[in-house]
Amino acid sequence: MILHIEKVLDGAALARFRHMLADAPWADGRVTAGYQSAIAKRNLQLPEDCAAARELGGAIEAALARSLLFQAAALPARIFPPLFNRYEGGHDFGTHVDNAIRIVPRTGERIRTDLSATVFLADPADYDGGELLIEDVYGAQSVKLPAGDMILYPATSLHRVAPVTRGARVASFFWIQSLIREDAQRGILFDMDMAIQRLRADVGDDHPSLVTLTGCYHNLLRRWADC
């Protein structure tokens, strides 16, 4: 499942992000890539331990905690601390798959990367190129979202970032270990959750069908959850 989540960050948050990132200590992005990814990766990245990355990453995690759509789609167990990258002057990232396991630098915690996420921080009109191209069963999906919006997709997907030919593409990216390991199962639960919410709006909280469907959702979650 590939899901566009709108307005994870609002205008005030974006202004703060842009102010802090303008003077941030950008470095070679290959330092956090695996062996194969490093061959294909050409961009800049904030060091994971710098103050700006920690503060802004915390702001993104707080925004995700408030996003009911993200919580329903990802069913997050753990979130890797958000990272930040910048593409400009022809930078790109060739086709790759994200590492299956990431280690949180400050804690040594291991996180299985079930889902990948990108929060776009630059306005699409401010740069050319830089599309995130995600391979799925229907072919390559091209993603270039408004600032503040997020794309969520299976970390098993082949994907790449097209060269940036004008301006700068700035984004945050991170990974999620879900309570539900399998993408197909997450998709079923997400569809059920959305249907339950629509039914609740149509018929009220105490309709017998709503109670039954909610029970089915939680019984499937109980059966499939990897806690």
- One-letter amino acid at 13 equals A
Residue 193 is labelled as binding a ligand = no
Residue 159 is labelled as binding a ligand = yes
Angle made by CA atoms 223, 202, 206, in degrees to the nearest 5: 60
* Start-to-end CA span in the chain (Å): 21
Kindly state the tokens that stand for 177: 């270990």
Which residues, other chains included, contact 196 with Cβ-Cβ below 8 Å and sequence gap of 6+? 210, 213, 214, 217
Q: How far apart are CA 174 and CA 167, in angstroms?
A: 23
Q: In 10 A of CB 6, how many CB atoms?
A: 11
Residue 4 is labelled as binding a ligand = no
Q: How far apart are CA 98 and CA 113, in angstroms?
A: 8
Residue 98 is labelled as binding a ligand = yes
Q: What ranges make up the beta strands (E) of the chain? A: 3-5, 27-28, 41-42, 44-45, 76-79, 83-88, 92-96, 101-103, 110-112, 115-120, 127-129, 132-136, 139-143, 150-154, 159-161, 164-178
Kindly state the tokens that stand for 91: 């930078």
Binding region for 2-oxoglutarate:
169
Binding region:
96, 98, 159, 169
Binding region for Fe cation:
96, 98, 159
